[in-house]
A and B are shown apart, each in its own frame.
Chain A
Amino acid sequence: MSDVGRVMRRSAAFRIAFWTLVLIGGCWLARDFRWSVVWLAAPFLLRGLVVSWELAVISVLIGFVTGAVLAAGRLYGYFGIRHAAIAYIELIRSVPQIMIIFWIFFSVPALTGVVLNAWPAALIALSMIASAYLAEVVRAGLMSVPKVHRDSAYASGLGAVDTFLRIVLPQALRNMLPALIAHVVMIFKVTSLVYLIGLVDFFRATILVNNRDYAPNALYLTMAIVYFCCNFALSSLIKRFDPKYTLAA
Chain B
Amino acid sequence: MDWSVVWQYRDALVEGLAYTLGISAFAIVASFLLGVALACLRLAGVDLIKDVIDGYVEIVRNIPLIVKLFFLYYIAGLDAFPAGLLAMTIHQSGYITDVITAGFRSIHPEQAESGYSQGLTRLQILIFALLPQAAQISLPPLTSQFIEVVKNSAVVMFVGVQELTFKTQEISQMTLRSFEAAVVATVLYVALTLAIAKGMNMLGRRLSWA
A residues in contact (CB < 8 Å) with B: 2, 4-5, 8-10, 15, 18-19, 91, 94-99, 102-103, 106-108, 110-111, 185, 189-190, 192-193, 195-196, 203, 207, 216-217, 220, 223-224, 227-228, 231-232, 235, 246-248
Contact = CB atoms under 8 A, between A and B. Distances in A.
A223 B67 contact: yes
A110 B172 contact: yes
Output the residue of B48, B147, B169 with the most chain A CB within 10 A: B48
A44 to B, nearest CB: 18
Nearest to B194: A94
B125 to A, nearest CB: 14
Interface stretch (B27-35, B98-106, B126-134, B200-208): B98-106
- The secondary structure that dominates the B interface is helix
A216 B75 contact: yes
Contacts of B89: none
B189 A99 contact: yes
Nearest to A11: B47
Given A5-B46, A195-B66, A95 B61 contact: no
Nearest to A8: B48
Contacts of A19: 51
Given A110-B176, A216-B75, A99 B154 contact: yes
Contact of A227 (B62, B74, B193): B62
A193 to B, nearest CB: 7
B185 to A, nearest CB: 6
A96 B189 CA distance: 8
A192 to B, nearest CB: 4
A220 B152 CA distance: 20
A232 B55 CA distance: 11
A235 B61 contact: yes
Contact of B98 (A10, A15, A196, A246): A246
Nearest to A98: B154
A18 B46 CA distance: 14
A2 B63 CA distance: 34
Given A95-B190, A189-B64, A103 B48 contact: no
Contact of A106 (B59, B67, B178): B178
Nearest to A110: B178
Contact of B61 (A106, A195, A224, A248): A248
Interface string B150-182: 111111011000000100110010001111011
